Amino acid sequence: MDEHMDVYEKNKEAYYKAYPQEAALWEGAKYEKSNLLIRSISASGGAESLLVEKDDRKLVLDGVFGSKERIQEQIESWGAIPSKMPLFVVGISNLEHIRAYLKAAREDCLILVYEPSIEIFDYVMRHIYIADLILDSPILFVVDQLNDKGLEDKIAAILNIDTASSLKTIVSPNYDVLFPEKTEAAVRILKKKYTNLIITWNTMRRFTDVAGLNSIFNIRHLLHGYNISQLKGMLRNEVPAIIISAGPSLNKNIEDLKDAKGKACLIAVDTAIKPLLNRGIVPDFFVIVDGKKPTELMQHPRISEVPLVTCSVVARGIMDLHQGKKFFYYSDDSLEGEIFKRARKESGKSENLYEIDLPTGGSVANTAFSLALHMEASRIILVGQDLALTNGRTHADGTFKAKMEKLSEEQMEGMIEVEGIYGKPVLTRTDFHMYLQWFEDQIAKKELKNVYDATQGGAKIHGTTVMTLRKAIKKFCNKPIDIVAKINALPEMMDWGAKKEFVDLYDHLPEKMSEVFEKALEGEKLYLKLEKICKQKELKEDAYRKIVKKIEKINDYMNTNKYALFVQDNLMDLNYIMRTAIYQQEADERDDRISLAQQGQVMNFYIRREAEKWIEITKQVVERRPMEVNREDIQGSLDQLLYDLECEEVAQ
């Protein structure tokens, strides 16, 4: 058999095994070809390099004299390669460099290879043996026209906060010249994903000091709360939703919203609520996501009339101020997860007790947009969604101040220019830009054709249709809907059994925090013992294994127990240092073990201290904000039956 045919068959078989759909597309040649001519040329040391001819220009994809040296220099420039290092490579070339990276990296590294030319990929598959890399290596292959739509998700898959700092990006030789747009687009996606990861992490850190406290204070509101799952499909693709944000352009058309009341679902973001209520416009919902939002922004005599869409970690002042109906989305808080789990177990109607997330790009308007999708709005109309400065202002009048001031020159520094809604460039902040990109990504990904931008100012949101609010209301808001009646018909998410279980959990919070404290103390002691064992001249294997087994139990507890996770979630800064440090390994095995034992002591020491803090806080909260279930909580015949049974038990 021809040597190349053998290579081709083996590669094909491997590709079919690992990427069946892509392989079928490739073999069926269901892709567009460009005018590339590819051939192999001999390089030093008997290796082969690839030469590509494009537009009468011949370019090599690798050196011919010093390929190995160049790759080696690159690897050496990275220094010590940490565990789980993510590596993003644009261009498979002849894969020699990828083999070298793989050899130099640790076994658990994550390599994503993006090939922007299907023809180069095809050539490689037919001439260079790569079946082993396809099947038996930690490499993900993304190829132009075969699976490049999944590039963004694949990039997200190799990035996480523990290892992001060690990310390496390689653009293979001449790929930037041959495929400038695709290379640039791929690097841009990587940059975006990386930035989003860091921003999300920093946001979590920013709110860490309040998230735990908010959660402990707010969970009591779940007792009489509703789940956003109860709003699923409420608009049945028949009624539009208007997302009202607080951008400066809201001043222009806020009055028009009066005409939409009762004919659309009005969803306001937190800062827009006061300007609306001040004008007598009562939205159907308002949404909050911020853990530090000042309570004053919501202080209005009618605030409790508006159902609140919220989660357990938002600003506790606002949660207490608002006495109306609260619809909860899932905050990813460990404690909340435990509440839902236990409540489900004891509930007779657990369908409303599942954690439902509302995807967001970081802004409350993003969350409101996800809510509109969740409710199956026929159209989504955006108002006050400037996502840019309008007349030098960030928000509408009546939000943070009665009359918003222009930003100072100093505040304007670092602004970026984006396309305005009417085509002219406008200035925006980097966080606004991120929210804007999230909207555009969602619209493109979900192929939404029903999003209208009625902001009448600010940045252009690609994928939306620009229309004045007045026209949008006239055109789309024709069908009357009584959302208040629909909401009033909903039962609270917890029934009698769920509520009783939740109250029990709440009352025992201090004991659970004490348990975390005890476990952390035990862990600290075990790691100290481990350090001593590791420092001995000769490692006593038996003693070492015994102690490691005990430590594993503690670590399992710390990684799975929801109360332990809650405590650790509130140690974000330390968490980051420890998590990244775990992947920085010592050269010597003995030093590595000692270092691990020391890190274990530090981690458990901080968990113990943090747990101690939460024992006190939960004691106070449970005492000062008690929860109870009584007759008023009976919502149906099953609740009544359970209540009667309990009364009988007490009487006996």
Partner 1 sequence: MNREELFLDCRVIILQVLEQLDQKRTAEGFSLLVRQIHPVQDTILELADGGFLLPDDIQQLSEYLLQALENKDAVLLYDVLKYALLDVLNQLLE
Torsion of CA 544, 546, 547, 552, to 10 degrees: 120
3-state secondary structure of 419: strand
Cβ of residue 123: shortest distance to partner 1, in angstroms? 18
Cβ of residue 66: shortest distance to partner 1, in angstroms? 2
Cβ of residue 554: shortest distance to partner 1, in angstroms? 51
Closest CA to 155 of 181, 184, 188: 188
Site for partner 1 in 108-147 (CB under 8 A): none
d(CA 101, CA 383): 50
Closest to partner 1 by CB, 67 vs 464, is 67
Closest to partner 1 by CB, 69 vs 552, is 69
d(CA 96, CA 15): 19
- With contacts defined by CB under 8 A, how many residues of the chain interact with partner 1? 16
DSSP one-letter string for 347-366: -S-GGG-S------SSSHHH
Closest to partner 1 by CB, 67 vs 253, is 67
Closest to partner 1 by CB, 67 vs 367, is 67
Cβ of residue 61: shortest distance to partner 1, in angstroms? 8
d(CA 583, CA 190): 22
Cβ of residue 121: shortest distance to partner 1, in angstroms? 20
The residues with which 53 forms a beta bridge, in sequence order, are: 37, 58
Burial class of 400 by CB neighbour count within 10 A (0 to 12, 13 to 18, 19+): middle
Cβ of residue 43: shortest distance to partner 1, in angstroms? 9
Binding mask 43-72 for partner 1 (x = CB under 8 A): -x------------xxxx-xxxxxx-xx--
Closest to partner 1 by CB, 68 vs 579, is 68
Cβ of residue 176: shortest distance to partner 1, in angstroms? 10
Cβ of residue 105: shortest distance to partner 1, in angstroms? 24
Cβ of residue 416: shortest distance to partner 1, in angstroms? 24
Site for partner 1 in 327-366 (CB under 8 A): none
Cβ of residue 165: shortest distance to partner 1, in angstroms? 25
Closest CA to 144 of 288, 31, 14: 31
Closest to partner 1 by CB, 173 vs 458, is 173
d(CA 311, CA 318): 12
Closest to partner 1 by CB, 173 vs 510, is 173
Helices (H) and strands (E) in the chain, counts: 25, 18
Closest to partner 1 by CB, 66 vs 262, is 66
Cβ of residue 42: shortest distance to partner 1, in angstroms? 9
Closest to partner 1 by CB, 71 vs 155, is 71
CA torsion sign for 157, 159, 163, 166 is: positive
Cβ of residue 49: shortest distance to partner 1, in angstroms? 9
Site for partner 1 in 442-501 (CB under 8 A): none
Gap between the terminal Cα atoms of the chain? 89
d(CA 245, CA 60): 53
d(CA 288, CA 371): 12
Task: Specify whether the CB–CB gap between 458 and 446 falls below 8 A.
Answer: no
Q: What is the largest CA-CA distance in the chain?
A: 97
What length does the chain have? 652
* DSSP strand pairing (308-310 vs 168-171): unpaired
> Any residues with CB less than 8 A from the CB of 363 and at least 6 apart, and which?
289, 431, 435, 438
Closest to partner 1 by CB, 37 vs 177, is 177
Cβ of residue 177: shortest distance to partner 1, in angstroms? 8
Closest to partner 1 by CB, 59 vs 548, is 59
d(CA 35, CA 38): 10
Residue matched to tokens 């023809």: 119
Closest to partner 1 by CB, 17 vs 39, is 39
Site for partner 1 in 68-97 (CB under 8 A): 69-70
Cβ of residue 183: shortest distance to partner 1, in angstroms? 14
Cβ of residue 35: shortest distance to partner 1, in angstroms? 16
Q: Is 236 in the site for partner 1 (CB under 8 A)?
A: no
Binding mask 164-183 for partner 1 (x = CB under 8 A): ---------xx--x------
What's the number of CA atoms in the CB half-sphere (13 Å) around residue 52?
26
Radius of gyration of the chain (CA): 29
Closest to partner 1 by CB, 172 vs 456, is 172
Residue matched to tokens 């051939």: 39
d(CA 242, CA 265): 6
Burial class of 373 by CB neighbour count within 10 A (0 to 12, 13 to 18, 19+): middle
d(CA 175, CA 184): 10
- 221: DSSP letter: G
Closest to partner 1 by CB, 184 vs 644, is 184
349 Cα distance to chain centroid = 30
Closest to partner 1 by CB, 60 vs 407, is 60
The token duo for 408 is 């100072």
Task: List residues near partner 1 by CB under 8 A.
Answer: 44, 57-60, 62-67, 69-70, 173-174, 177
